[in-house]
Structure 1
């Protein structure tokens, strides 16, 4: 095994978190399969427990707010590699706003999950969202 493999795995997992933030901000629900496995389980404070990519996409579509936008900033990624599986966690700041206006709500989240190697690359098989704080403007 190349010594570069752990670095490449960590970068690929970091990209998962970035792709997730971008698809949420840009509402590109059709790209959800580039982040999650088909059999993903998502634990969300707003949605409860979602099973499978179809349930996740369905929830995301239903949760859209007309004119509402988000900006996710993910940081402090920590990855624990274990072969084809990895535990990963990060902090996320989410700003809720309307075009051309300052955010009306901001929140801090802890993200955690399991990333697995698939034929298409690393994907999140489990994803947990835990709110840590919230502030209205």
Structure 2
């Protein structure tokens, strides 16, 4: 694999993590297919093990709280590309807030994923969400 291809893949996967955060922040569930593979599996303490895009979207919709917003910040992204697959991990800090107010709850997460190259671009196939800490503000 050429260096240019490897760099391009790493940038696309970094963008994928950003699109995932924005999907969550903006509650754009109809865009889930731009982030997840159809056969995605998500492992989280709150949702357990969710199989398939429809189950993942249903779970995310269920978590909506009237008047509450989230801001996900993703840092320390590591990507290991191997052909049409990649292992990626990142830290995330999530701030929960209401319009015009400081965050009332903050949490730190560790995200790991198996990503795959599809005809439409890189997608998350297996996502593990592991809380590291929480703080009531």
Q: Which residue of 2 aligns with 1:42?
A: 42
- Distance in 2 separating the partners of 1:110 and 1:64: 21
Structure 2 residue runs without a partner (length 5+): none
Question: Alignment partner of 1:4: what SS?
Answer: helix
| Counterparts of residues 1-137 of structure 1 (less than 5 Å) | 1-137=1-137
* Pairwise CA distance, 1:2: 3.4
- Distance in 1 separating the partners of 2:73 and 2:89: 14
Give TM-score scaled by structure 2 length.
Answer: 0.98
Q: Deviations over 1:69-119 (max 9, x none)?
A: 000000000011111100000000000011111000000000001010000
After superposing on structure 2, the runs of 4+ consecutive aligned residues of structure 1 that deviate more than 6 Å are: none
Q: CA RMSD in A?
A: 0.7
- Distance in 1 separating the partners of 2:134 and 2:56: 23
- Distance in 2 separating the partners of 1:57 and 1:24: 10
Q: How many residues in Structure 1 have an aligned counterpart in Structure 2?
A: 137
Question: Alignment partner of 2:65: what SS?
Answer: coil
* Pairwise CA distance, 1:45: 1.1
Question: Alignment partner of 2:57: what SS?
Answer: helix
- Distance in 2 separating the partners of 1:87 and 1:39: 17
Give TM-score scaled by structure 1 length.
Answer: 0.98
* Pairwise CA distance, 1:56: 0.4
